Amino acid sequence: MRCPLGAREDAELLVAYTSRKLDAAKTAFVEAHLESCGECQEFVRQQQAVWEALDLWEAEPVSTDFNRRLYQRIETQVSWWERVLRPLRPLVAHKGVPLAAAASLVLVAAAVLDHSAAPPPKPAPNPAQVATVESLQPEQVVNALDQMEELNKFNRRMRSDTPDAKM
């Protein structure tokens, strides 16, 4: 039989129990459950071992100039973005305005060219062609598709047989 406290949220209940963060009602519920569930007893034992180890652990004292050295180190570290942009700084510092204008001009030109390169709209289908397609019988369509498939197979075989295709 599965333990009713085996779910993730109930494991959090057991962790809260071992860290003594539960109210009296929940503590009584967990203790009653622990009397009959070996799996949860083992989990609580392991959690209590962790808490005991943390209670025994003593952090090393922080030096008096820790904050000063930390902030100094943070200020001397350079991000990767700063390292990439560092060679470009002289160009931007002396010629920043013309460079920004040139970049804007390139963006506007790209936008204009993008709109002019749009494909023209497709023409409306010829009514005579539509009528011809609609008048086809299903057997004719299936037959045409079968023939197209045979032609594709033939083309693949011919391409694989040619010496140029093997290179």
Which uninterrupted H or E stretch holds 66? helix 66-76
120, part of any domain: no
45, part of any domain: yes
88, part of any domain: yes
Same-domain pairing of 75 and 48:
no
At 1 the pLDDT is: 40
Number of structural domains, the chain?
Answer: 2
Same-domain pairing of 36 and 15:
yes
Longest dimension (CA), the chain: 93
95, part of any domain: yes
27, part of any domain: yes
115, part of any domain: no
Same-domain pairing of 50 and 72:
no
At 108 the pLDDT is: 83
At 167 the pLDDT is: 45
Which residue range(s) make up the domain with 19? 8-56
At 24 the pLDDT is: 92
pLDDT under 70 in the chain at which residues?
A: 1-2, 4-10, 90-99, 115-121, 124-136, 161-167
CA atoms within 13 A on the CB side of 66: 5
Same-domain pairing of 16 and 37:
yes
At 28 the pLDDT is: 92
Q: What is the pLDDT of residues 69-95, one digit of tens each?
A: 888 888 787 777 777 777 777 666 665
Sign of CA dihedral 156, 161, 162, 167: positive
Main-chain phi, psi angles of 155, to 5 degrees: -60, -40
Same-domain pairing of 52 and 23:
yes
34, part of any domain: yes
47, part of any domain: yes
